Every structure is written in structure tokens, then in C-alpha cells.
A and B are shown apart, each in its own frame.
Chain A
Amino acid sequence: MKIAIASGKGGTGKTLISTNLFWAAQKNDQYITIVDCDAEEPNVAEFISGKGIKSTQVTQKLPIIDAQKCNLCGACYDFCNYHAIVYIPESQYIKIIEDLCHDCGACLVACKTGAITEIEKPLGSVNTAAINSHTLSIESCANVGIYSPVPVIKKAISASKNLGTVLYDAPPGISCPFIATAESADYVVLVSEPTPFGLNDLKLSVETLDHLNKKYGVVVNRAGLGDDAVYQWLKEKNITLLAEIPFDREIARIYSEGHLLVDKIPSYQSVFTQLLHNIKNQIAQ
């Protein structure tokens, strides 16, 4: 069972929900893994720490053109589906645009003069920590300045294969990093807040997940803030409200100190246990 915790809007409480849900899951399930898929700003380790057992570098192959061997035939340019090669025969110019290269290797096949070779470009790392005998945390961590964190996220997700119940703490937004995370999940928990921004971004997330044919439900965080437009919309769309977490300064304080809510305010233990139960029911439906 793989559950992604996501949100269109950043800062709605994905990590708050996923780390506390992790607590509930490790009480109930034998094997449980949490994957921090927010590779550009991973922070699950602030809340759940373990003993580092493995760190794997993620790299991308990048083609290099040897100007001595290149006869400017343009075959690599014709083969490249991603417009990553700029070819101007009039100016005897050929260049690979690093950020557009998808590491497909087609240019290597196309080149008949042996002018193209590949180098390894570091993209980030996947760091695994053992929390106890049956729980793991896997963190995706992208290097600063890389074009896309998606290859790093995918590596982290594939490292969590066959590891029992897996929670993905998804990256914010609805672009490629989110999609890379959501498409691997059996169920997506969308965390929103009852504000116009929260509702707007929730609608975008729902639209995306409908395209992906994913099951999802909603957790309203900071309930009591804003208005009731989110609730009306959920009702109208017949989307399940899985849980509500109230707007409470104390929760923000506990979170900012890197603690789990369930540890500091034990009454939330039943809230997250119930949330896990609701998610499982939804998946079973």
C-alpha cells in the first residue's frame, strides 16, 4: 500500500500530516517506510530521525561532443526529441543544451563518427535511515541548481519498492515532481486549508489526479481559519473529507521545534489512527 501526502499549495501541512501519519502506521503495520519526495527541500528527517544506513548518488548521463571528430552532419540533432541540441550548419555550430537533455542516449546511437561520449552529471542523492527494525525513512535530496529533481525522486521511490506500507511526502505544486510522486501511489491524501488560496490549489490538484485516474481524499488543516468554501466544494464534488486539524498556534510551535504532534499532544494519536483507518477504507473501496 502506497499513500502519497500532497497539496497544490505549499505550506499547507503535508509534512505535518505525513510524519504523524507515519507514527500511526508504524503502530499498525509491520513494515513501514516514509519517503521524502520533496527533493528540493526535504525535511522529514527533522521529525523522524534514524541511523543512516545507505546513501546513493543519483547521476544523469550527459553527452559531450568532440569538436575534432564531429563532421557537423546533424544526425544527433535529428534524433534528439527534446530539442536539446542546437545545430546551425551555416555557422558550423553544434551545442548540447544540458538542461534540456533527458539522458535518452539517442544522439550516441545517431553519431556515426564517434564524436559523442557521455559523462556522469551528479543530480543528488537518496539517503536511507533505519528508524527501528521494521521502519525506514528514505530521503530524496536534489543538488542545488539542477534543472529537474524528478530523477532523484524516482530513485527514492524505486528504493522503497516492496517495503510494506509506504508513505510519500510529496513535493508541493502540481508539476512534474508532484506527478512523479502521485503516479506511484495507490492513494493520494490532499492537504488543504480553508482559504481561497487553499481551495484554488486544491482544485488544481484534483484536476491533475483525475487525469491520472488516482483515488484521493482531503485533509483540511488549519480548520477554523478562513471560510467554508472548501467544505462546500468538497460536498459538491462528492470528495471525501478524511480528517480536520484545527488552526492552533500550539501545533505550529510543536511543528517548528521538530516534534511530532502525536508525541506532544497525545489526544491527536486517535485523530491520526482514525485518518489511517479512513484512508485504508477508501483504498479498499
Chain B
Amino acid sequence: MKIAITSTGNNTESTIDSRFGRCTYFAIYDTETQGLEFVPNQSKDNVEGAGPASAQLVASRGVQKVISGEFGAKVKDIFDSLKIQLIVVHDDKKQIGSIIEMLNNAKN
């Protein structure tokens, strides 16, 4: 299963980005292959519509769960109808590496 985590940078030391639509990177982690890819968020500086554009980006990558600090109202509907689960992490000091570790532990 693929999981997207909003990230402030492009490595596992980076912390989670607290905003979904305007995050800097999406860390896309595949729990089966344990592959990790950092995708820059092109719509981060959009005047409006950053959320839906970001939702489109992660959904088109076949992600089934999204982890972020906060989700806007516009993306909630989109993810609901795509049956993509949203997970909110309030601790914005959490590093991508440690979230992945938690995901691996949860699987085992």
C-alpha cells in the first residue's frame, strides 16, 4: 500500500509539513516494497486551489492513505469519494523517518 506524508524537505530527516495543500514535498512510501520517493509539490504556491491540485497529485499516484498536520475543507470531499484515508499528526517536529518506522511497526 502507498502512503503519502506531507514533508518539509526531501529526506527522512525532514519533519512533517503541517499543511496538506501547501506542503513542500510529498513523501510517498510503499509499505510492500519499502520504497520511498519525494515528490515536490508544484501547486504549493498557487493563489487558490492548492488543496484540490495536491489531492489530485497524490491520488493519481495510487496512494491509499495521506498523513499530514491539517486538511482543508475542499480536499476532504475529494478524498472521501476516492476512499483515501486521512491521518492527522499534530506533532510538527515528527520526522518522516520516524513516521515510516511507525508504519512498518504497525504492519508487523
Contacting chain B: which of A21-29, A89-97, A156-164? A89-97
Is the pair B74, A95 in contact by a Cβ cutoff of 8 Å?
A: no
Complex Cα spacing A83 to B81, Å: 18
Is the pair A91, B82 in contact by a Cβ cutoff of 8 Å?
A: yes
Indicate whether B97 reaches chain A with its CB closer than 8 angstroms: no
**Chain A residues closer than 8 Å to B78, beta-carbon distance:** 86, 95
Contacting chain A: which of B9-17, B22-30, B46-54, B87-95? B46-54
Is the pair B48, A83 in contact by a Cβ cutoff of 8 Å?
A: yes
Given contacts A83-B46, A86-B52, contact A97 B59 (CB under 8 A): no
Q: Which size class do B's interface residues fall under?
A: 10 to 19
Give the most central of A83, A86, A87, A90: most B CB within 10 Å. A86
**Chain B residues closer than 8 Å to A89, beta-carbon distance:** 60
What is the CB-to-nearest-CB distance from B31 to chain A, in angstroms, rounded to a whole number? 19
Question: Which of A82, A86, A99, A100 is in CB contact (< 8 Å) with B56?
Answer: A86
Given contacts A90-B62, A91-B59, contact A84 B49 (CB under 8 A): yes
Total residues of chain A contacting the partner, CB 8 A: 14
Complex Cα spacing A86 to B53, Å: 7
List residues 43-99 of chain A with CB under 8 A from any CB of chain B: 82-84, 86-91, 93, 95, 97, 99
Residue of A nearest to B43 (CB): A83
What is the CB-to-nearest-CB distance from B48 to chain A, in angstroms, rounded to a whole number? 6
Question: Which of B52, B59, B62, B82 is in CB contact (< 8 Å) with A83?
Answer: B52
Complex Cα spacing A82 to B62, Å: 24
**Chain B residues closer than 8 Å to A83, beta-carbon distance:** 43, 46, 48-49, 52-53
Known: A83-B46, A86-B56, A97-B49. 7 other contacts (CB 8 A): A83-B43, A83-B49, A84-B49, A87-B56, A89-B60, A91-B60, A93-B82
Chain A positions within 8 Å of B, measured between CB atoms, are 82-84, 86-91, 93, 95, 97, 99-100
Chain B positions within 8 Å of A, measured between CB atoms, are 43, 46, 48-49, 52-53, 55-56, 59-60, 62, 74, 77-78, 81-82
Question: Can you report 13 A-B residue pairs in the complex whose CB atoms are below 8 A from each other?
Answer: A82-B48, A83-B46, A83-B48, A84-B49, A84-B52, A89-B60, A90-B60, A91-B60, A93-B59, A93-B81, A95-B78, A99-B74, A100-B49
